[in-house]
């Protein structure tokens, strides 16, 4: 063990065979250097020394970054700090090493011999103090000192970033857990996490952990409505954030305030875990004594004054009651105003006897029709082949769930029909047809149009998986289930129908669903089905959009090109993307995006679902805000144990 804290293994000639300085964990010491590709990893928590989700990396391009990773993988998220010492346009200024020299200075050594210091201000003496720099479990990279001749604890010197609470992390929870609020007080250098009012820590021993509500959740009215300014707003007009809340923080520089809706205080979970009246309602009962006092005063005054007061009370109560009742009626009928219930006869007339067929699939046949909703509106009417929900209430509940899901890249539901054995859904009509007719047409769409469609599909799936009130796994993503509006914006159809047809979904073992060529491998194995099945299907569709050809071409005369995913990977390995896009000039002029899109597709079609990215990560990679690494072979020989 050297005086610098470096543990070494040496041979008889004192030649170093191995040293701990080459394998840092969360801390570096004076005289220690990190080369390109080197990493510091935080611990999991203050007392858990296993690998955490924060990293400090000197990337291969010379940029020093702080980022989170998606445990248990090494997949890096967007950096929340970067030194700016990457290759860029001037490779001579790119970073070569992160140096912690003997005097206690920490800096990035550039290729041209210059250096970029990470901290400003005076340094403490390394002669009189022990010095270290640690990537803490809360994502803060900080330097500390400890007097060699003293009993004091480690003292903070500087850190990056300055305020970790104000950093928006894209990995789910922020520095603090879900539903928690992060605050950095002026006299502190480390963040403090607190649960909002009416929330408590799931694990009382983990102050940086997740918070849970102390009140009962789940009533339908809470999911359907929220109030603002005394008015009931329909979910079609309000995009609500999916719970749990992430990245909660206090930021006094913003002139704004956030609100969390909680259940009224009358009924809550008491500290002992039972349900009952809260202390607030008990306090209200005490206030009844005040009402008795008011009554006594009334009877002690003149009859005329009493009549005036009583009349005023009654009149006020009448208006309040009527207003409250009106709001209740609005709340009860808001779905009926936005989701219309049709009779079978109405839809038969609207479609001229189901005359013009637009398409058909596993869920049923779609017909073109015209309905009256203030004016004549062209719609697409889907006749469902089979619905497992036997009662009218069950069917209506499932349809209402679908109706709540509203996004610019999802086809909107206008209404439904539940008339005996006839059950139909009425959707908006999109004049430019399906993605299949667009991409596989004789005339190839432009590269710009295709990339626009790709992003639209990805964002629609992201909304279904993570941002709507209830996660929806589509289970049948394919070009025939993606429609295009008048401006060629992509809209996903048939979402929610898998659940409507009583197909068990998340974390369950199910019968195979989907379409040949787009079905994820886990459907054929006895393993849980998750949202990653949609990621796989999206990867196949992405390749089809890039190449303007179908995923399976049984009549192809070119050996090795019958299966698009196999051929595309061969092209990636051989560096033959030109052939993949048939030497299309517009796509090759945008080669960086082309390479990114192809690599993203390779990540999506990984045989092992745990290796595939989430749709949030897919969108970030497609938009260029997250670095896309070279993917492994999507089809390795591997086994999954039950």
Catalytic residues: 476
* Structure token digits, residue 642: 């039950």
Spatial contact of 104 and 131, defined as CB atoms under 8 Å apart: yes
* Spatial CB neighbours of 312, under 8 Å, sequence gap ≥ 6: none
> What is the sign of the dihedral through the CA atoms of 598, 604, 608 and 614?
positive
Spatial contact of 534 and 475, defined as CB atoms under 8 Å apart: yes
Q: What is the DSSP code (8-state) at residue 21?
A: G
Question: Does residue 590 sit in helix, strand or coil?
Answer: coil
C-alpha angle 488/490/495, rounded to 5°?
Answer: 150
Q: Count the Cβ atoms, other than its own, within 10 Å of residue 620.
A: 20
* Structure token digits, residue 445: 């769409």
Question: Does residue 200 sit in helix, strand or coil?
Answer: strand
Dist CA 180 CA 209 (whole Å): 8
Residue 182 host element (H or E): strand 181-183
First to last CA, the chain: 46
SS3 content of the chain, % helix, strand, coil (to 5): 30, 25, 50
What are the C-alpha distances in Å from 323 to residues 224, 312, 336? 20, 17, 20
> What is the sign of the dihedral through the CA atoms of 423, 428, 433 and 435?
negative
Dist CA 489 CA 91 (whole Å): 40
Half-sphere exposure (Cβ direction) of 328: Cα atoms closer than 13 Å: 6
Spatial contact of 357 and 366, defined as CB atoms under 8 Å apart: yes
Q: Is 383 annotated as a binding residue?
A: yes
Q: What is the DSSP code (8-state) at residue 76?
A: B
Residue with tokens 């909107």: 412
Dist CA 301 CA 282 (whole Å): 31
Dist CA 460 CA 409 (whole Å): 5
Dist CA 280 CA 386 (whole Å): 50
* Binding annotation for ATP: 383
* Binding annotation: 383
């Amino acid at each position: 063990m050297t005086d610098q804290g470096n543990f070494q293994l040496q041979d008889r000639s004192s030649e170093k065979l191995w040293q701990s300085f080459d394998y840092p964990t969360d801390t570096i010491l004076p005289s220690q250097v990190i080369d390109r590709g080197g990493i510091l990893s935080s611990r999991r928590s203050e007392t858990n020394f296993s690998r955490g989700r924060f990293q400090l990396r000197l990337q291969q391009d010379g940029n020093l970054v702080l980022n989170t990773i998606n445990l248990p993988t090494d997949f890096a998220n967007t950096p929340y700090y970067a030194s700016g010492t990457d290759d860029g346009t001037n490779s001579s200024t790119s970073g070569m090493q992160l140096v912690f020299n003997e005097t206690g200075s920490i800096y990035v050594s550039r290729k041209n011999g210059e250096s970029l210091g990470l901290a400003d201000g005076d340094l403490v003496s390394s002669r009189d103090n022990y010095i270290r720099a640690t990537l803490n479990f809360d994502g803060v990279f900080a330097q500390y000192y400890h007097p060699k001749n003293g009993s004091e604890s480690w003292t903070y010197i500087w850190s990056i970033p300055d305020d970790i609470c104000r950093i928006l992390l894209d990995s789910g929870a922020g520095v603090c857990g879900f539903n928690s609020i992060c605050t950095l007080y002026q006299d502190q250098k480390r963040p403090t996490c607190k649960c909002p009012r009416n929330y408590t820590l799931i694990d009382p021993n983990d102050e940086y952990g997740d918070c849970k509500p102390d009140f009962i959740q789940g009533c339908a009215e809470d999911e359907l409505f929220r109030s603002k300014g005394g008015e009931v707003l329909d979910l079609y007009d309000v995009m609500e954030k999916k719970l749990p809340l992430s990245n909660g923080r206090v930021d006094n520089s913003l002139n704004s305030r956030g609100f969390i809706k909680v259940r009224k205080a009358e009924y809550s979970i008491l500290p002992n875990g039972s349900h009952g009246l809260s202390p607030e309602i008990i306090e209200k009962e005490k206030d009844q004594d005040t009402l008795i006092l008011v009554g006594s005063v009334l009877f002690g005054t003149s009859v005329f004054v009493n009549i005036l007061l009583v009349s005023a009370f009654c009149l006020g109560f009448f208006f309040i009651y009527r207003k409250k009742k009106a709001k209740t009626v609005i709340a009860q009928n808001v779905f009926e105003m936005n989701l219309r219930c049709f009779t079978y006869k109405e839809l038969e007339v609207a479609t001229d006897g189901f005359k013009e067929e637009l398409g058909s699939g596993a869920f049923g046949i779609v017909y073109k029709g015209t309905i009256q909703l203030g004016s004549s509106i062209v719609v697409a009417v889907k006749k469902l082949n089979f619905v497992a929900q036997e009662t009218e209430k069950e069917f209506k509940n499932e349809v209402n769930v679908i109706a709540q899901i509203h996004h610019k890249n999802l086809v909107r539901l206008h209404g439904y029909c539940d008339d005996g054995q006839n059950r139909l859904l009425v959707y908006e009509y999109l004049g430019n047809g399906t993605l299949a007719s667009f991409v596989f047409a004789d005339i190839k769409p432009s590269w710009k149009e295709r990339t626009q469609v790709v992003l639209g599909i990805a964002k629609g799936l992201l909304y279904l998986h993570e941002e709507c009130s209830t996660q929806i796994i589509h289970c049948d993503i394919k070009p025939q289930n993606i429609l295009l509006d008048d401006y060629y914006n992509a809209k996903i159809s048939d979402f929610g129908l898998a659940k409507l047809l009583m197909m068990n979904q998340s974390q369950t073992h199910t019968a195979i669903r989907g379409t040949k060529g787009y079905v994820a491998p886990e459907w054929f194995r006895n393993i849980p089905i998750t949202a990653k099945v949609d990621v796989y299907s999206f990867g196949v569709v992405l390749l089809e959009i890039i190449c303007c050809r179908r995923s399976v071409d049984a009549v192809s005369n070119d050996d090795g090109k019958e299966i698009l995913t196999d051929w595309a990977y061969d092209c990636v390995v051989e560096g033959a993307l030109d052939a993949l896009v048939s030497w299309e000039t517009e796509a090759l002029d945008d080669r960086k995006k082309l390479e990114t899109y192809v690599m993203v597709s390779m990540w999506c079609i990984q045989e092992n679902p745990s290796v595939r990215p989430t749709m949030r990560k897919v969108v970030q990679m497609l938009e260029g805000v997250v670095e896309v690494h070279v993917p492994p072979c999507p089809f390795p020989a591997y086994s999954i144990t039950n």
